[in-house]
Each structure stands twice: as structure tokens, then as C-alpha cells.
């Protein structure tokens, strides 16, 4: 391969089937993407690992890509090229964080309208989660969940990326936080400010939550089938809100009969990117608030666990098995 050809290729993780993370393959000599209409080409400095990546690898993510495909969708890095139609583009060399197809690679494209500058003084890796984890947690708590000071908030999977952000934010907005996590992660969640941390596999979880709270005002539901019954049981009748933004254990169902006669909670759905597309003005307000939270120190630079790109399949396996804590990232240059 000539030097010119090498400069136009890259290394990436490619999902070969829908059989899970084990079929992620490190591929060299892959053609570097070219920015399409309205896009930047970004030299990836760090790629975020999310449970949606696991779901995509299993073919269970609604609207997800069909294998084979370059995996990953969240990253931060340096703008190295700009499509001609981008209006008022950021200068080449600007470091941005955003989403797009094929983030587990040395280069990827991102829609210019959806990127944010990496905050001043932060590394690429430190900014991961800004447009995904923290935006999701803030949207679930405020515009969708309508959190109020003094309310009780239940956060599942509180040791994960969104969960940790949600605990910090809920405490900042004056709520009492009941969190769940596996026992080995309890100390991490307490350090974030959770008032109570419970074992996520407690056999009488709903009864214990009701004993401690008398009822929950806001439930942040990311687990799905394994916890949705508990969410319905502990939400306060009529005034309790359940915001669903994930289904890591599979989807759950609820009927009109349930809502009319058994669980009169308010059930609300949130997919952060669909919400941003549907109500862009509200999403812009959310991003402004995130900037304020960064300035106030409520949202500190992230400290993800960073792994070489080749270890991506193992990191996703650990995430799928619940053996990770906090944010994890891949370095495509290691």
C-alpha cells in the first residue's frame, strides 16, 4: 500500500453480525469517511462506550444499523475537514464532541449542527457524555421529569454513565435520591451524593423503597423489564412520573387497564436524539443549562476508563454483564 493510500485509510471496529460484542472485529486499511452534506470529518480522540452499543451488537436497538457496520456512535475529537455547505463552520483544529455512525474508528463524520465544542481545558475523553449521558439525565429530570426541590427521585443503574450524572443533578436540584446498583458499586454511588443506595437485585425492592419513602415522585427508568414493575409500584398515584429512557433488560408492557385501575402513574418516554429533533428550541435551552452547570462545577470533567480500541469487544462484554462502573471509552490510536 502506498503512502497516499495509507493516509486515506484507518483502523476501525466493525460489527460483523447480530451475535453480540464477540463479533466485533478490529479492521485495518478501512477507507476513511468523507464528510457528506452538513458534516465535519473528525479525527477521533476518544470514543464513548454505551449500552446502546451492546443493544446494536445484538440487533435489538430500534432503528439500529444492519451488520456488518462500523460500530460506535459517540466520540470527541478534532475537526480535520468540513463539507462545503456547512454555514459558519467551526475552524479546522477545533475539538468537538458529538454523535455519528462509526465512532469506534480513527476518523468519523458528525453533523455540524449537532456538535458541541469540547469545554476549555478539557480533554476529548473528559467531554464524552456531554451530548448523551448528561443531556439525557438533565432532560429526564427537568423538561420531561419536572423535578422539584424536596421530591424523591429513584435512579436505577446509578453507577453507570447516565446514572452517575442523574444522581449529581438530582441532588443539585434539591431532591432526595434513592439509587440502585450492585453492592460492589455502592460506595461509588454514595460518593456522588445519593441518600440511599439499594441492591439492584433486592428480592423485595419495591417494598423496601416504599418503606423508606412512602412513594417516589420521579423514577428514572433505564432497565426496563426487570424493574418496570417496581417503578409502577413505587411511583406516587397520579402525581408520580416515570421517565423511560432505556430498556437494558428488555422491553416491558403496560395496558390501559393498568393505568386506569392499578398504577395511575404518569409514564413518559425519552429518546434524547428524537426529542432534540422534535423540540430543537428546548434542546438548545438544555445545552445552555449544561454550560451553566459546567461553569458552576456541578458538571466536572469526566474521568472515563480509557482502553485501546482492540479491547472494545471485551469492554462491551463487561458492560453487558454489568461489570463496569462509570464511563468507558476507547482510544483508536492505541
Give me the pLDDT at residue 62, please: 86
The Cα–Cα gap between 120 and 136 comes to: 22
In this structure, are residues 82 and 112 in contact, taking their beta carbons and an 8 Å threshold?
yes
pLDDT tens figures, 263-301:
999 999 999 999 999 999 999 999 999 999 999 999 999
pLDDT tens figures, 7-45:
799 999 999 999 999 999 999 999 999 999 999 999 999
Give me the pLDDT at residue 96, please: 98
Q: Which three cell numbers stand for residue 60?
A: 435489538
The Cα–Cα gap between 146 and 217 comes to: 10
Looking at the predicted structure, is the pLDDT value of residue 95 above 60?
yes
Looking at the predicted structure, is the pLDDT value of residue 1 above 70?
no
CATH architecture for the domain at 133-272: Alpha-Beta Complex (3.90)
Give me the pLDDT at residue 4, please: 44
In this structure, are residues 250 and 225 in contact, taking their beta carbons and an 8 Å threshold?
yes
Q: What is the pTM of this model?
A: 0.90
Query: In the CATH scheme, what is the code of domain 3-129+302-331?
Result: 3.90.180.10
In this structure, are residues 55 and 224 in contact, taking their beta carbons and an 8 Å threshold?
no
Give me the pLDDT at residue 173, please: 98
Strand order in the sheet with 266-269: 196-199, 176-181, 152-155, 218-221, 241-244, 266-269
pLDDT tens figures, 292-311:
999 999 999 999 999 999 99
The Cα–Cα gap between 117 and 96 comes to: 4
The Cα–Cα gap between 228 and 157 comes to: 13
- Beta-carbon contacts of residue 67 (< 8 Å; ≥ 6 apart): 15, 16, 17, 18, 23, 59
Give me the pLDDT at residue 5, please: 46
- ∠ Cα 260 261 264 (to 5°): 60
pLDDT tens figures, 44-94:
999 999 999 999 999 999 889 999 999 999 999 999 999 999 999 999 999
Give me the pLDDT at residue 154, please: 98
The Cα–Cα gap between 143 and 135 comes to: 11
Give me the pLDDT at residue 63, please: 87
Provide CATH 3.90.180.10 ranges for the chain.
3-129+302-331, 133-272
pLDDT tens figures, 150-168:
999 999 999 999 999 999 9
Give me the pLDDT at residue 253, please: 93
Using 50, 70 and 90 to split pLDDT, how confident is the model at 3? very low
Mean pLDDT, rounded, of the chain: 95
Looking at the predicted structure, is the pLDDT value of residue 6 above 80?
no
Using 50, 70 and 90 to split pLDDT, how confident is the model at 131? very high
Is 2 or 109 the better-scoring residue by pLDDT?
A: 109
In this structure, are residues 92 and 81 in contact, taking their beta carbons and an 8 Å threshold?
yes
Mean pLDDT to the nearest integer, 226-235: 97
Strand partners, 167: none
Amino acid at each position: 500500500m502506498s503512502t497516499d493510500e495509507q493516509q486515506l485509510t484507518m483502523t476501525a471496529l466493525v460489527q460483523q453480525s447480530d451475535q453480540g460484542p464477540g463479533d466485533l472485529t478490529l479492521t485495518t486499511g478501512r477507507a476513511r469517511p468523507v464528510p457528506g452534506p452538513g458534516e465535519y470529518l473528525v479525527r477521533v480522540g476518544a470514543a464513548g462506550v454505551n449500552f446502546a452499543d451492546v443493544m446494536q451488537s445484538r440487533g435489538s436497538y430500534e432503528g439500529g444499523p444492519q451488520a456488518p457496520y462500523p460500530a460506535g456512535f459517540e466520540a470527541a475529537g478534532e475537526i480535520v475537514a468540513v463539507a462545503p455547505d456547512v454555514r459558519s463552520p467551526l475552524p479546522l483544529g477545533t475539538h468537538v464532541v458529538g454523535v455519528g455512525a462509526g465512532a469506534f474508528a480513527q476518523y468519523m463524520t458528525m453533523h455540524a449542527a449537532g456538535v458541541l465544542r469540547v469545554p476549555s481545558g478539557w480533554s476529548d475523553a473528559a467531554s464524552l457524555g456531554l451530548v448523551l449521558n448528561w443531556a439525557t439525565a438533565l432532560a429526564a429530570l427537568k423538561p420531561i421529569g419536572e423535578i422539584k426541590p424536596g421530591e424523591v427521585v429513584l435512579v436505577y443503574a446509578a453507577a453507570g454513565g447516565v446514572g452517575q450524572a442523574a444522581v449529581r443533578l438530582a441532588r443539585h436540584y434539591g431532591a432526595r435520591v434513592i439509587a440502585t446498583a450492585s453492592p460492589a458499586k455502592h460506595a461509588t454511588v454514595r460518593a456522588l451524593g445519593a441518600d440511599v443506595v439499594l441492591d439492584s437485585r433486592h428480592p423485595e425492592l419495591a417494598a423496601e423503597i416504599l418503606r423508606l419513602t412512602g412513594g417516589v415522585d420521579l423514577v428514572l427508568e433505564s432497565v426496563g423489564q426487570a424493574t418496570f414493575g417496581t417503578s409502577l409500584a413505587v411511583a406516587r398515584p397520579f402525581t408520580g412520573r416515570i421517565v423511560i429512557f432505556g430498556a437494558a433488560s428488555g422491553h416491558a408492557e403496560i395496558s390501559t387497564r393498568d393505568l386506569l385501575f392499578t398504577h395511575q402513574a404518569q409514564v413518559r418516554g425519552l429518546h434524547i436524539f428524537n426529542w432534540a429533533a422534535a423540540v430543537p428550541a428546548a434542546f438548545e435551552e438544555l445545552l445552555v443549562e449544561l454550560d451553566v452547570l459546567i461553569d458552576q462545577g456541578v458538571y466536572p470533567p469526566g474521568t472515563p476508563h480509557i482502553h485501546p480500541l482492540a479491547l472494545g469487544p471485551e469492554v462491551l462484554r463487561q458492560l453487558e454483564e454489568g461489570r463496569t462502573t462509570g464511563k468507558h471509552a476507547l482510544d483508536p490510536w492505541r
